[in-house]
Amino acid sequence: MSRLASGVVLVTAHDADYGPHGEDAGMTATAFMSVSLDPPLVLVSLRNGSRMDDLLAEQPLWGVSVLSESQRHIAGRFAMKGRVSDRLLFEDIPYTRGEVSGALLVRGALATLECRTEQRIEAGDHTLVIGRVLTAGLESADGGPLAYFKGRYRRLG
């Protein structure tokens, strides 16, 4: 499957139950796709037992930032295993907070979405989360998409 090129997104959610002010979580995903236009649905695949899988099992609202080719550093940062607190990873990334989801949305991303989980489907060692798109924004028209192919982040063209 490493021969199948895919886009790269940052999936985010706000965990209001963590600490006095809550905590923001983020995860790089390459298994993300549009499912339906009417109603607008998207799908993300989450590794079972991952922080994002556990959080989205409890929190139905989440965000997606479609990363541009200039945001490779963000993708790499949130794909690290055994990383430090997500709070530290967000520190120097420009973002806005989604009005509906409360999730952090990366400024300068090609597009941003806010979603509400409609369905969760167990599939082997992953959970497929289907979300209804509640808001969509075009953050930036500059640059191309960040792609993932043969185990590396790449530019198109």
pLDDT, greater one: 40 or 3: 40
Q: To the nearest whole percent, how much of the chain has pLDDT over 90?
A: 72
Helix (H) or strand (E) holding 65: strand 61-66
CATH code, 65: 2.30.110.10
Residue 137 belongs to a domain: yes
Domain count, the chain: 1
Residue 96 burial (C-beta neighbours within 10 Å; 0-12, 13-18, 19+): middle
DSSP letter assigned to residue 29: E
Q: Is 156 exposed, middle or buried (0-12, 13-18, 19+ CB in 10 A)?
A: exposed
Per-residue pLDDT averaged across 117-130, rounded? 97
Smallest CA-to-CA distance from 29 within 100, 78, 99, 70 is with: 78
Instruction: Write out the residue range of the structural domain in which residue 14 sits.
Output: 6-155
33 DSSP β-pair partners: 43
More confident residue, 8 or 6: 8
- Using 50, 70 and 90 to split pLDDT, how confident is the model at 60? very high
pLDDT for res 139: 74
- Give the up-direction half-sphere exposure of residue 152: CA atoms within 13 A in the CB hemisphere: 4
CA 102 to each of CA 7, 26, 78: distance values in angstroms, whole numbers, following the listed order: 24, 13, 19
Length of the chain: 157
Q: What pLDDT does 154 receive?
A: 87
User: Does residue 73 lie within any of the structural domains?
Assistant: yes
1 within a domain of the structure (yes/no): no
Asked whether the predicted pLDDT for residue 106 surpasses 90, the reply is yes
Q: Over the stretch 77-100, which tens digit does the pLDDT of each residue have?
A: 999 776 667 778 898 999 999 999
Please check whether residue 108 lies inside any domain of the structure. yes
- C-alpha to C-alpha distance for 11 and 136, rounded to whole angstroms: 14
Going by C-alpha positions, the residue among 79, 17, 77 that lies closest to residue 50 is: 79
Q: CA 62, CA 52: separation in Å to the nearest integer? A: 10
